[in-house]
Amino acid sequence: MAKKLLGRRPLLFILTALVLLFFYLRDSLVTTSVMSTSVTFGLPLAMAAMVGIMCERTGIVNIGIEGTLLVSSFVGFFTASLTGNLLLGLFAAVAMGAVAGLLLALLSITWKMDQIIAGTIINILATGLTSFFYKQGHTIPTTFPEFSLPGLSSIPFFGPVLFVHGPLTFFGIFVIIALWYALYFTPWGLRSRSVGEHPSSADTAGVSVLKMRYLNVTIAGAIGGLTGAYLTLELVGSWDRGFSAGKGFTALALMIFGRWNPLGALGAGIFFGVAQAITNQLMFSQVITIPQQLTNMLPYVLTILILAISAGKVRAPAAEGQPYEKESA
Amino acid sequence: MSSLLEMENITKTYPGVVANENISLTVEKGEVVALLGENGAGKSTLVKAVFGLVHPDTGSIRIKGTEISFGDTAGAIAQGVGMVHQHFQLVPIMSVTENIILGDEPRRGWRLDMKKAREEVLALSKKYGLVVDPDAIVEDLPVGTQQRIEILKALRKDVDLLILDEPTAVLTPQEIDELLTVIRNLAKSGVGILFITHKLREVMAVADRVVVLRDGKVAGATTPRETNEAGLAHLMVGREVVLRVEKGEAQRQDVVLSIKNLHTLDDRKLTAVQGFNLDVHAGEILGVAGVEGNGQRELVEAICGMRQRVTGEVLVSGIQTPDMQPRKVHLMGVSHIPEDREKHGLVASYSIEDNLVLNQFDQAPFAKGWIRNRSALESNAKTLVKEFDIRTPSIKTTAGALSGGNKQKVVVARELSQDTKVVVAAQPTRGR
């Protein structure tokens, strides 16, 4: 269990803990706030990575995460804005995400379209539709409010970092851990992974490859919708064109860095979040002055670096990207 | 009382090919029925129909008197049908236990009960005398063990009818004998067995009845008592067959291949070939025997320049061959019929025509400078298809669309039709 939790990078983990301790002893207030921010930066990325993990574990490549985030956050925001009800916005976003997932499933599973093209279609469709229907000047009355988990939040450092957040943050963390558990410790997980690795094995064992793929890609879409809602209704509180800002692609890098393991991707997401939060803090406190554009590049540069480092060392689900033809078994 | 399995007038056509034509077949409880036929005779298609993997065009299938709907694997499993597939249906990166329980997992609430699963696998393994390590990862295991896992998987759900699709194709003779014993014991316990093979010895050894398929039709039905291997072979191919190769004494000439003190590692970086020496003369056939996984693959790959030689040398007609340069080794006169034709022998998405010149496409007459010579390619393909009896709709058909035996004919045709000094053939008769 401990090995699974820490992954195969215990050194990295210990090193991070030591660095944190050093800064915490020097300036506890700033360190705590930076780490708390890094959760809000990293978690949406990790959640978006779950979309990729769920799809790819069953053999469907989803590069439409970006579009899913964009369109579901759009629908979530405007539903909340027009009805004045945040919960309705949340449900609308989740439903929209599921629809995007279903579309990917239809294109890539039923129609056996090239999965990269199917994902691209979702991205383009999302950009086009949201830009077309976007109207300026809409607002939502409030965002999902932050609250403190009683008891836990009074632990020094960890309390404010982990246990003082909005409800969707907690829910997001729950989803990631639940997905990890389900993937490795339930029949559903075993079947999902077998479908992504060697679909004819699953088929000959009486597991419907088609149904598993449809189910998982659609649920993955719903998680994408949840992420979209989280971004707009809890973290930002507004919506603008190109709102998802490449998070869907960064998520794919996290997925790979985390070896298609939800906890691995969560770790990678936190790593990204910390990097972003530290940069912001350094800029804010004027320790460094670099143009905004350069810091905006950071996630992409990190993505490229990480992919370059992990290339060749990780193993993707074997049946990824291949439509399943029953009779060629 | 109705039979265990009744197949009636099953017909299945693929574009351009009739795989099964009006086939009827029955299997009774406790009976071993061998389904015999050449590659491409339609055996696999027929049994896949029973297991819901192939959807027949017409006909009906009844199990214990109940008509089954086509294309419903889960339904077939529920009716007590188990199948051991020709191509292993195992997830390589998963454990033995995970593979065996897949599709019908022991649960504790909504969770997997791996402890119970493991115990179940051990009990199953003990019951049938098929030894497996429940925690081993499938891809690390030799094929013989993988085959055992396949059989255990099929037997797990108290099967009434067990279908074995060429289960002996990748086994050594000892492993085959073990398997045949398992089959007989199962039949004794009341399981009906449908056993696909093209090996006559196995049919004679284990079958109660034999049904022979030829070109998608039933060519005849008999029992081992009424016939012999020659009679079965006749039914199978439709003409007299010579079962023994008459060959004279080898006329040994000069040494053409010489291996000196060869050392290589396997994929896990463990020593696979250790100080190997061998001389092969022109005009002789030299067999390398042994249980699979004892360095044969690594030896072949090292000879052909596909695997790093740690030390030692390989000489062709006295000239040293370069290490890790398969193309140069080939140009020095070494032909290679690889063990895994799908991976190293063919490009599945290329046409037969192109596959037949894979290692000489850039040489005359197949190319003039930068330009490929289409007419030379075509005439080469037509000649070889005829000469090696490659059964294909056309020379433009992709190699991946051919049956296993015909794929192998493409590889063999390519390798043997060239000027060559040494032919290295790895498991050339293996069915896959």
| B425 vs A162, higher pLDDT | B425
In this complex, the residue of B55, B71, B111 whose CB is nearest that of residue A186 is: B111
The reply to whether A329 touches chain B by the CB within 8 Å rule is yes
Q: Is the pLDDT of residue B252 over 80?
A: yes
Helix (H, G, I), strand (E, B) or coil at B204: helix
Cα end-to-end span (Å), chain A: 36
Q: What are A254-291's pLDDT values in tens digits? A: 999 899 999 999 988 988 888 888 888 888 877 777 78
Residues of A with CB below 8 A from B101's CB? 190
The reply to whether A246 touches chain B by the CB within 8 Å rule is no
Q: Is the pLDDT of residue A329 over 80?
A: no
Q: Which of B53, B86, B90, B91 to mutate to test the interface with A (most CBs of A within 10 A)?
A: B91
Over residues B63-91, mean pLDDT: 89
Give start and end residues of each alpha helix (H) in B305-364.
326-331, 352-355
> Is A194 in Cβ contact with B90 (below 8 Å)?
no
Q: Which tokens in the block code for residue A257? A: 């860095």
pLDDT confidence bin for A1, thresholds 50/70/90: very low
Mean pLDDT for chain B overall:
89
Q: Is the pLDDT of residue B188 over 50?
A: yes
The reply to whether B94 touches chain A by the CB within 8 Å rule is yes
Residues of B with CB below 8 A from A208's CB? 74
The reply to whether A316 touches chain B by the CB within 8 Å rule is no
Amino acid at B385: V
Q: What are B133-176's pLDDT values in tens digits? A: 999 999 888 878 888 899 899 888 888 999 999 888 777 788 88
Q: How close is the nearest chain B Cα to the Cα of A254, in Å?
A: 22
Over residues A117-137, mean pLDDT: 95
pLDDT of residue B243: 67
Which residue of B lies nearest to A200 if distances are taken between CA atoms? Answer: B89
pLDDT confidence bin for A134, thresholds 50/70/90: very high
Q: Phi/psi zone of residue A89: left (φ > 0), alpha (ψ -120 to 50 degrees), beta?
A: alpha
Question: How many angstroms separate the CA atoms of B134 and B119, rounded?
Answer: 9
Q: Is the pLDDT of residue A141 over 90?
A: no
The reply to whether B110 touches chain A by the CB within 8 Å rule is yes
Which residue of B lies nearest to A182 if distances are taken between CA atoms? Answer: B111
pLDDT of residue B68: 87
In this complex, the residue of B48, B99, B112 whose CB is nearest that of residue A185 is: B112
Residues of B with CB below 8 A from A318's CB? 92-93
Q: Is the pLDDT of residue A7 over 70?
A: no
Q: What are B1-39's pLDDT values in tens digits? A: 678 999 999 999 887 678 899 999 999 999 999 999 887
Q: Which of B89, B115, B116, B146 to mutate to test the interface with A (most CBs of A within 10 A)?
A: B89
Residues of A with CB below 8 A from B91's CB? 193-194, 197-198, 201-202
> Is A204 in Cβ contact with B89 (below 8 Å)?
yes
> Is A194 in Cβ contact with B87 (below 8 Å)?
no
The reply to whether B314 touches chain A by the CB within 8 Å rule is no
Question: How many angstroms separate the CA atoms of A268 and A264, rounded?
Answer: 6
Mean pLDDT for chain A overall:
89
> Is A201 in Cβ contact with B90 (below 8 Å)?
yes
**CA dist list (Å): B210 to B33, B164, B181, B214, B371:** 6, 14, 18, 13, 54
Q: Is the pLDDT of residue A20 over 90?
A: no
Percent of chain A residues topping a pLDDT of 70: 96
For the four alpha carbons of B27, B28, B34 and B36, in that order, the dihedral sign comes to negative
pLDDT of residue A3: 47
Q: Which of A191, A195, A197, A201 to mutate to test the interface with B (most CBs of B within 10 A)?
A: A201
The reply to whether B153 touches chain A by the CB within 8 Å rule is yes
> Is A207 in Cβ contact with B48 (below 8 Å)?
no
In this complex, the residue of B54, B93, B101 whose CB is nearest that of residue A327 is: B54
Q: What are B223-248's pLDDT values in tens digits? A: 988 888 888 888 888 877 776 777 88
In this complex, the residue of A187, A204, A326 whose CB is nearest that of residue B105 is: A187
> Is B89 in Cβ contact with A200 (below 8 Å)?
yes
Q: What are A203-235's pLDDT values in tens digits? A: 999 899 999 999 999 999 999 999 999 999 999
pLDDT of residue A266: 94
- DSSP code, position B3: -
The reply to whether A211 touches chain B by the CB within 8 Å rule is no
Over residues A109-122, mean pLDDT: 95
The reply to whether B91 touches chain A by the CB within 8 Å rule is yes
Residues of B with CB below 8 A from A207's CB? 74, 102-103
The reply to whether A238 touches chain B by the CB within 8 Å rule is no
pLDDT of residue A9: 64
Lowest-pLDDT range of A25-29, A202-206, B296-300: A25-29
Q: Is the pLDDT of residue B293 over 60?
A: yes
> Is A205 in Cβ contact with B153 (below 8 Å)?
yes
Q: Is the pLDDT of residue A104 over 60?
A: yes
- DSSP code, position B430: -
Q: Is the pLDDT of residue A100 over 60?
A: yes
Q: Is the pLDDT of residue B432 over 60?
A: no
Q: Is the pLDDT of residue B419 over 50?
A: yes
The reply to whether A210 touches chain B by the CB within 8 Å rule is no
Q: Which of A190, A212, A260 to mutate to test the interface with B (most CBs of B within 10 A)?
A: A190
In this complex, the residue of A198, A200, A329 whose CB is nearest that of residue B92 is: A198
Q: Is the pLDDT of residue A328 over 70?
A: no
The beta strands (E) that lie in B331-425 are given as 334-337, 367-368, 371-372, 422-425
pLDDT confidence bin for B428, thresholds 50/70/90: confident
The reply to whether B112 touches chain A by the CB within 8 Å rule is yes
The reply to whether A185 touches chain B by the CB within 8 Å rule is yes
Q: What are B332-372's pLDDT values in tens digits? A: 999 999 988 888 899 999 999 999 999 999 888 899 888 99
The reply to whether A57 touches chain B by the CB within 8 Å rule is no
Which residue of A lies nearest to B111 if distances are taken between CA atoms? Answer: A186
pLDDT confidence bin for A302, thresholds 50/70/90: confident
B352: nearest Cα among B396, B298, B387, B291:
B396
With contact defined as beta carbons under 8 Å apart, do B337 and B423 qualify? yes
pLDDT of residue A192: 96
> Is B102 in Cβ contact with A207 (below 8 Å)?
yes
pLDDT of residue A95: 98
pTM equals 0.80
pLDDT of residue B431: 62
Residues of A with CB below 8 A from B54's CB? 327
Percent of chain B residues topping a pLDDT of 70: 99
CA-angle at A229, arms to A225 and A232, nearest 5°: 140
Question: How many angstroms separate the CA atoms of A13 and B18, rounded?
Answer: 61
Q: Mind giving me the DSSP string for A75-121?
A: HHHHHHHHH--HHHHHHHHHHHHHHHHHHHHIIIIIS---HHHHHHH
Q: Which of A198, A203, A204 to mutate to test the interface with B (most CBs of B within 10 A)?
A: A204
pLDDT of residue B270: 87
Give start and end residues of each alpha helix (H) in A154-312.
158-163, 167-185, 187-197, 199-204, 209-229, 247-257, 262-284, 292-310
Q: Which tokens in the block code for residue B290? A: 């042994």
